[in-house]
Chain A
Amino acid sequence: MEEQRGVRQWFRLDNAAKLYPAISSVQWTSMFRLSFVMMEAVSPQRLEEAVNQVLPRFPAFRVRLRKGLFWYYLEENSDRFRVTEDAGHPCAPLGQGENSGYLFRVKYGVRRISLEMFHALADGTGGLVFLKCIVAQYLRLQGTPVPCEEGVLDPRCPPNPEELEDAYRKIPLDGVHASRREEAAYQMPGTPDPPHTLRLILAQMSVAEVKARASVYGATITEYLTAVMVFTLWQSQQRGHWQRRLPVKVSVPVNMRKFIPTRTVRNFAFYLNVGIDPKLGTYTFEETVQLIHHAMRYGMNPKFLFAGIATNVASERNILIRLCPLPVKNFVLSFVYHRVGERLFTTTLTNVGAVRLPSVMAEQIERAEMMLGASSSYRSNCAAISLRDKLCLTFTRDIAETDFERNMLRFLIREGIPVRVSSNQE
């Protein structure tokens, strides 16, 4: 954070965030959405009041995006924030000048409070802290005294500078020289939807039942769900006739706060691509779970992850890249990302994990939902989040076909896990 007296505060984008404005366009922006479904109807006025009371505590989100000569930057935004009605398809790209330039939306449904965020501001963990604070403050305005515990920050305290840091800069990079070169992955076929379309399917299941089934294979919930995904994708790849036998890989975001303690609410995640290679023969589901289990255990070591981040940080610090004017950077970054980056995995599984809430607050919330915005390369992605015993898997896609969702959910049902679905189909 850099500051000057009497001048608007401004922030550099963090390492991961530098990518997102560069690759965004009117048609597509990297967004994600976190929601709490409340027990009772939501009052829009109180919600707007709550957001505006909480915002000063989060200077990193109280910003608009500006262009510098070399990089984008975030500039303090003191306009009043307006909540909007949850209508139409979610996670639409942020329009120019929409919402006084704020890079997130807070939407109210009948009982749902949703936070749609531009990925340049924060990752899922950071967004969840923000949403928890908004909803806690909303409940306080409704008359429920919510204590500031379980990750709910006190809106009356001044912001902690540690919450605003670019945690990527804390990663020790001495002597790291590895670059992670990866093979392109299998891409699911599908008929592309027009821009601003996001079809979603929400699948609810019981945490205990999924956990019990996962433990039969000695895997965690994330490992198990990833394995189901990889296995069913591999099966449908085998049914296709003209598909090259490219590896089926799922990109699993890893919360780096596990390895480097930080209080940052901005981006601090990295990705691990795990999967199976059809060129090595056929797989049983047991084999797939074992492979994914070990690949994730191996991949989740700081050395391996830091090496991946080191490449990004090194290129960010490279003086030649830094001196490149912004439009050139945008062109190169968006070309590389859409042609190479998005092709390295078949789909994404983001697991935000179990939401911890103060008990008085948890009583007022039926479930939590997490979804990813459309991906630029026409496919279906999945995000998971759980509250108490309710695990919500949200599939979002910008293609017409539902083969991926259908195969995965049918597999879970055959495994003995009941699934309840709802959608935004017409």
Chain B
Amino acid sequence: MSYCVHCGVELAPSEARCPLCQTPVVDPAAPYDPTLPREFPIRSREQRLEINPWTTLALAAVLLSVPALICLLIDLLANGRLVWSLYPIGAFGMIFLGILPPVTLRKNVFFWTVAADVGALCLYLWLVQSLSGGEWFQTVVFPVLLLLGIMLVAMASSIRQGMLKGLGIPAMGLLLICVVTLAVDLLITATLTAQVRITWSAFVMIPCGIISAMLWLVHRNRALRSELKRKLHL
């Protein structure tokens, strides 16, 4: 008989891992034998298929394509050609792409959701630009969205891996706001005046930057943190 090295419980021979803490059975004298009968039946096929993500997706596809088709029909009947219906149809497509990862994925949901949302939004805005004209998409919107997506993913993964915690999280959040504002400002100014110059974003960046730096200092400095706690305790 084997015991969990972590919990100290005796494990039934049919257990490959400790059911309490998932530690694998380590017993050179009696290694786990997968052919042994289980003490309890495991999940049946029907139970495993209980929530089928593809059913949800099919349902979403139907629910979104009905209004899309209606838009298309009305537009065609009223104008004889496509005038405005591509805007709502593109929006429905964007919604569908956005819900794809959270419904289907079990791992890395946040990363793929952000990636899909940024991707879907980019596609939609590119569609809007190509329908209505202009150059704003590739000059401003696309770089900003890409930057925002990358930074959100980086921040979320460093929070999850424990690299970012406590006051470091709001400090980094404020820094993210600074960077995005700066990017928007620089890109817009560069497009309009063909000069690389900081204009209005300074009003956002200065207070955010100061607060972020203060939070970061307090976060990093143990002595300062305890001093502040002592002086400011309620």
> Shortest CB–CB separation between residue A186 and chain B, in angstroms?
21
Interface Cβ pair total, 8 Å cutoff: 92
User: Are A87 and B44 neighbours in the complex by a CB distance under 8 Å?
Assistant: yes
Q: Judge whether A200 is part of the interface by a CB distance below 8 angstroms.
A: yes
Query: A80 CA to B42 CA in the complex, in Å?
Result: 28
B225 at interface (Cβ–Cβ under 8 A)?
A: no
Q: Give the residue name and chain of the A residue nearest to B4 (CB).
A: A421
With known contacts A197-B50, A424-B38, A419–B43 Cβ distance under 8 A? no
Tell me the bound Cα distance from A90 to B37 in angstroms: 17
The A399-426 residues at the B interface (CB cut-off 8 A) are 402, 405-406, 409-410, 413, 418-426
> B51: CB under 8 A from chain A?
yes
CB of A406 within 8 A of CB of B20, answer: yes
A281 within 8 A of B: no
A345 CB to nearest B CB, Å: 23
* CB contact between B41 and one of A87, A202, A422 (< 8 Å): that residue: A87
B12 surroundings in chain A (CB, below 8 A) = 420-423
Closest Cβ of chain A: how far from B101's Cβ, in Å?
A: 18
The answer, yes or no, to whether A42 is at the interface (CB within 8 Å) is no
Q: Are B40 and A88 in contact, CB atoms less than 8 angstroms apart? A: no
A278 at the interface (CB under 8 A from B): no
> Does A413 contact B7, Cβ atoms closer than 8 Å?
yes
- Per-residue interface assignment for chain B, residues 1 to 41, with 1 indicating a CB less than 8 Å from any chain A CB and 0 otherwise: 10000011111101101111100000000000000011111
B43 near A426: Cβ-Cβ < 8 Å: yes
Within the complex, which residue of A419, A423, A424 is in contact with B10, where a contact is CB–CB below 8 Å?
A419
B47 on the A face (CB < 8 A): yes
8 Å CB interface, A78-107 against B = 86-90, 92
A126 interface residue, CB < 8 Å from B?
no
Encoded as 1 (CB less than 8 Å from any A CB) or 0, chain B from 99 to 127 comes to: 00000000000000000000000000000
Q: Nearest Cβ in chain A — how far from B119, in angstroms?
A: 27
CB pair B11 A402 closer than 8 Å: no
B20, A405: Cβ atoms under 8 Å? yes
In the assembled complex, the CB of B49 is this many whole angstroms from the nearest CB of chain A, namely 10
Interface centre among A90, A418, A420, A425 (most CB of B within 10 A): A425
Evaluate contact between A203 and B47: CB separation under 8 angstroms.
no
Cβ of A417 to closest chain B Cβ, rounded Å: 11
Interface centre among B1, B10, B11 (most CB of A within 10 A): B10
A-side contacts of B15, CB under 8 Å? 421-423, 425
Q: A420-B11, A421-B15 are in contact. Are A409 and B20 (CB under 8 A)?
A: yes
Chain B nearest Cβ from A399, distance in angstroms: 14
**In contact, A422 and B44 (Cβ under 8 angstroms):** no
C-beta contact mask, A189-221 vs B, less than 8 Å → 1, else 0? 000001111001111000000000000000000
The verdict on A109 contacting chain B, using a C-beta distance below 8 Å, is yes
A196 to B21, CA, bound (A): 23
Given contacts A195-B50, A203-B9, contact A423 B19 (CB under 8 A): yes
- Interface pair A422/B9, CB less than 8 Å apart: no
Are A426 and B47 CB-contacts (below 8 A) given A420-B9, A421-B12? no
When the two chains form their complex, are residues B9 and A409 in contact, meaning their CB atoms are under 8 A apart?
A: yes
At the interface, yes or no: A321 with Cβ under 8 Å from chain B? Answer: no
Are A418 and B20 in touch, CB under 8 angstroms?
Answer: no
Shortest CB-to-CB span from A206 to chain B, Å, is: 12
* A422 in complex: contacting residue of B19, B43, B51, CB < 8 Å: B19
Residues of B within 8 A of A425 (CB): 15, 17, 19, 42
A421 touching B50 by the CB < 8 A rule? no
A422: min CB distance to chain B, Å: 3
Which residues of the other chain, B, contact A421 by a CB distance below 8 angstroms?
9-12, 15, 18-20
Give the residue name and chain of the B residue nearest to A423 (CB). B19
| Minimum CB distance partner of A86 in chain B | B41
Minimum CB–CB distance for A180 against chain B, Å: 35
| CA–CA, A23 and B15, complex, Å | 36
Find chain B residues with CB under 8 A from A86 CB: 41
A402 and B19 form a contact (CB under 8 A): yes
Give chain B residues whose Cβ lies under 8 Å from the Cβ of A426.
Answer: 42-43
Of residues 159 through 199 on chain A, the ones whose CB sits less than 8 Å from some CB of chain B are 194-197
B7 touches A410 (CB 8 A): yes
Q: In the complex, which residues of chain A have a beta carbon less than 8 angstroms from the beta carbon of B40?
A: 90, 200, 202, 422-424
Contact in complex: B47, A201 (CB < 8 Å) = no
Within the complex, the shortest CB–CB distance from B27 to chain A, in Å, comes to: 15
> Which residues of A sit under 8 angstroms from B47, Cβ to Cβ?
88-89, 92, 196-197
Residue on A with the closest CB to B13? A422
Contact check, B50 vs A196: say whether CB atoms are below 8 A apart.
Answer: yes
Contacts of B19 on A, CB cut-off 8 Å? Answer: 201, 402, 405, 421-423, 425
Please indicate the chain B residues that have their CB under 8 angstroms from the CB of A201 in the complex: 19-20
Query: Do the beta carbons of A419 and B9 come within 8 Å of each other?
Result: yes
Please list 9 pairs of residues, one from A and one from B, whose beta carbons are closer than 8 Å in the complex, sorted by A's number.
A88-B43, A92-B47, A194-B51, A195-B50, A196-B47, A402-B20, A410-B9, A422-B40, A424-B43
Q: Which residues of A contact B (CB under 8 A)?
A: 86-90, 92, 109-110, 194-197, 200-203, 402, 405-406, 409-410, 413, 418-426
> A402-B19, A409-B20 given. 20 additional CB < 8 A pairs?
A89-B47, A90-B41, A92-B47, A194-B51, A197-B50, A202-B40, A203-B9, A410-B20, A419-B10, A420-B11, A421-B18, A421-B19, A422-B11, A422-B15, A422-B19, A422-B40, A423-B15, A424-B38, A424-B40, A426-B42
Partner-A contacts on B (CB < 8 A): 1, 7-12, 14-15, 17-21, 37-44, 46-47, 50-51
